[in-house]
Amino acid sequence: MRPTPRALLVLAVAVAVACGGGEPTAVGLPTEKPDTVTTPVLPDTAGIGAVVAALTIDPANLPSYAVTLPATYGPAVLAREDRTVGNPITDGGAMLGRVLWFERRLSRNDGLACAGCHQQGLAFGDTARFSAGFAGGFAGAHTMRLANNRFNENGNQFWDRRAPTLEAQVVQPIQNAVEMGFDDAHGGIAAALAKVRAAPYYARLFKLAYGDTAITEDRVRRALAQYVRSMVSVDSRWDRAIAAAPAGVPFGQPLAGLTAEENTGLQLFVLPPPAGGLGCAGCHVPPTFSLAGNSLSNGLDAGETRIFRSPSLKTIGMGTRYMHDGRFATLEEVVEFYDNGVQAGPALDNRLRAGPGGAPRRLNLSASQKAALAAFLRTLADSSLQHAPRFSDPFRR
């Protein structure tokens, strides 16, 4: 009997931008070049043995990648999803993405997988300032945490926003000469796909995900994107505290599930300056804590003209470094920077200026206020993603 994967569409989610920003435009997937690879006809039972031999996955009982979103994810949040169309999350697709994520064959020397830099135990980030590539060279930016990537309002990817969609982004590290090694000089994505086709377990996995055994770049992109989009953080201490509060309580109100210090940090973070807060939530928007789509530079360096995006603050403080170049090792350093270290530049966001077009704000926080902010940020840690089997290494190594 042919196993049938469950195809569950996960709810669309996104951030409610407190300070404005228009509706994102739906982005379609890139048109795939015609596939010239002959698609084998796979008997109903063929390939299952290869899957079971190599992987801890049961083809007849796939894990669920559906997510139940809390009540705080209302219509205003759902209206601003990463709207790459044509790639709903299914159990088969996300499962295939998980296998590809941990697949070392996707590096030129079979030594590095996506998971080698984006480590599950580190909130899908890395403790190193710059992660090492397949041959020991170093990446040009710090490895970004991935929780709540699907709430990235504009859909663009990488710190410098150069990829328009997650589907466009996920294969670029494979094709990077330093990271995984399949640049044009070494066969490009076609060479990586040839290695995938040679692995005996993939025909069955692609059939589970897509209904037939064709292994194409487009399908690899879609599966990896589904896996990343399924990394949703809704089980932090803050999530549990807001869920236990009366329905409709404003995000800036103290919560019974947090300490007095954490609630002080919560109010500093969420409330706008006229209400006694710092307005951090104007850019890092609850409940997803993803970056508002209209955010500009945060003034890391004087004269900055580039506009970087940041990951969601959910899972922050779980062992990784901070900023696009990993320059800060602790949350305390991050808070200190925003207190008195923001630099002037043409791309600096007005929310970090003393006035429109003005000098950078100086917050002049007390030591206790800085400690409270860091304490609140740590309530956004979510260990459920660190330990969830559906995101773990599926290989029998």
Query: What pLDDT digit, counting tens, does each position of 208-222 carry?
Result: 999 999 999 999 999
3-state secondary structure of 294: coil
- For the packed helices 188-198 and 217-229, what is the interaxial angle rounded to 10 degrees? 80
**242: CATH:** 1.10.760
Q: Which residues share a beta bridge with 285?
A: 290
Is residue 178 located within the same domain as residue 295?
no
**What Å distances lie between residue 99 and 194, 202, 246, 277, CA to CA?**
16, 9, 41, 44
Q: What are phi and psi of 221, to 5 degrees?
A: -60, -50
Give me 311's structure tokens.
């990951």
Residue 124 lies in a domain: yes
Residues 167 and 55 in one domain: yes
- Residue with tokens 């589907």, as numbered in its chain: 167
C-alpha 311 chain-centroid distance:
6
In a domain, 359, yes or no: yes
How many structural domains is the chain composed of?
2
Same domain, 182 and 300: no
3 within a domain of the structure (yes/no) = no
| Cis, bond preceding 173 (omega within 30 deg of 0) | no
Residue carrying structure tokens 């970056």: 291
Claim to verify: residue 281 and residue 343 sit in the same structural domain: yes
Q: Is residue 20 part of a domain?
A: no
- Residue 280 placed within a domain: yes
> Residue 39: how many CB atoms within 10 A of its CB?
13
Which pLDDT belongs to residue 44?
55
302 and 189, same domain (yes or no): no
Same domain, residue pair 227 and 270: no
Closest among 290, 226, 265 to 97, alpha carbons compared: 226
Q: Is 360 domain-assigned?
A: yes
User: In this predicted structure, what is the pLDDT of residue 13?
Assistant: 32
Considering the domain architecture, whether residues 282 and 315 belong to the same structural domain is answered as yes
Give the model's pLDDT for residue 46: 63
Domain termination residue (choose one: 181, 205, 233): 233
Q: Are residues 118 and 249 in the same domain?
A: no
Max distance between CA atoms of the chain, in angstroms, equals: 69
- 389 in a domain, yes or no? no
Q: What's the pLDDT at 249?
A: 92
Token pair of 22 as six digits: 């228009």
Residue 209, domain CATH: 1.10.760.10
Give yes or no: residues 374 and 249 share one domain. yes
Q: Is 94 part of any domain?
A: yes
Tell whether 186 and 52 lie within a shared domain: yes
Q: Over the stretch 97-131, which tens digit does the pLDDT of each residue have?
A: 999 999 999 999 999 999 999 999 999 999 999 99
- Check whether residue 208 and residue 254 sit in a common domain: no
**46 vs 90: CA distance, rounded Å:** 22
The candidate with the shortest Cα–Cα distance to 153, out of 307, 309, 13, 293, is 293
Among 233, 267, 284, identify where a domain stops.
233
Q: Say if residue 250 is in the same domain as residue 311.
A: yes
pLDDT beneath 50, residues of the chain? 1-27, 30-42
d(CA 34, CA 310): 35
Domain boundary among 233, 254, 280: 233
Domain that holds residue 254: 237-383
